[in-house]
Copies of this chain bind each other. A is one copy, B any other.
Amino acid sequence: MSGMQDAGVVGVLGGMGPLATVDFLRKVIDATPAQVDQDHVPVVTSSIPQVPDRTAAFQGRGESPLPALVASGQRLVRAGAGLIAIPCNTAHLWFEPLQQALGLPMLHLIDVALDEAVALVGPEARLGLLGTEATLASGLYTGRGHTGLRWLLPAQDEIARWVTPGIHAVKAGDVPGAAALLVQAAQALADRGAQAIVLGCTEIPLVLNNGNAPIPVVDATAALARRSVAWSLAQRAA
């Protein structure tokens, strides 16, 4: 092997947050059938956490993250990535201009997660959604074309009390505190009749999973990891 010509190099546009990026990289390994190092898929990662806050920008309270996302993605282009995956849901609000600027194939995290949700509970299920305020308010999931799904979102007071503080607690490294907050948010969605909950922020599966959630969860990060590995293995076999 040598240099830029290697096939199947997955580019990870990360750092949003850094722990979610590490979680994604771990799930890439878990999704790969491997006995020795050389069986694993090649990955380059740009984890530049200085990308401006995505929710603040969506709410008009902060600068656009797009220039920083493009700059971080260009690091991956220069490093020889053949595909880009972004383990951050909210950043997908800038997916189209980012893809135009980078000129590489990109996996769309929300589409991958929705495919996984439909496979789990069917195309007409009642799905709960947890995510940042921007992901919830923007229709990033609910407006993505799966018209048969019925969505249950946290109420405003639940977002303020449990969801946003839970996500921030993960980013600050407080895993037990974050878990306690997000389990409550999940329970409220289950109580209103959700059949499964989409973990629509990559910080959330770090603390909420099928072990502590009251109903099944759809881990968008794990779904994106499996799709990235499948792409790489197909490229390398070609």
Q: Which residues of A are in contact with B by a Cβ distance under 8 Å?
A: 1-3, 6, 9, 15-19, 21-22, 25-26, 28-30, 34-53, 67-68, 71, 74-76, 78-80, 168, 171-173
Contacts and interface: CB of A to CB of B under 8 A. Distances in A.
A29 B35 contact: no
Contacts of A3: 71, 74
Given A42-B48, A48-B42, A29 B37 contact: no
Given A1-B71, A75-B79, A79-B75, A15 B42 contact: yes
Given A21-B25, A78-B78, 9 more contacts: A3-B74, A6-B48, A9-B48, A22-B26, A25-B47, A29-B173, A34-B173, A44-B44, A44-B79
> How many identical chains are in the complex?
2
A49 B71 contact: no
Contacts of A29: 18-19, 22, 173
Contact of A34 (B37, B53, B172): B172
Given A29-B19, A79-B78, A68 B1 contact: yes
Contacts of A25: 18, 21-22, 25, 47
Contacts of A79: 44, 46, 75-76, 78-79
B76 A171 contact: no
A26 B49 CA distance: 14
A28 B6 CA distance: 28
Contact of A49 (B21, B40, B68): B40
A37 B22 contact: no
A172 B35 contact: yes
11 contacts: A1-B48, A3-B71, A19-B26, A29-B173, A30-B173, A34-B173, A37-B49, A37-B50, A40-B49, A44-B47, A78-B79
Contacts of A76: 79
B171 A36 contact: yes
Contacts of A48: 1, 6, 9, 42-44
Contact of A44 (B35, B45, B173): B45
B71 A2 contact: yes
Nearest to A50: B1
Contact of A37 (B15, B41, B71, B74): B15
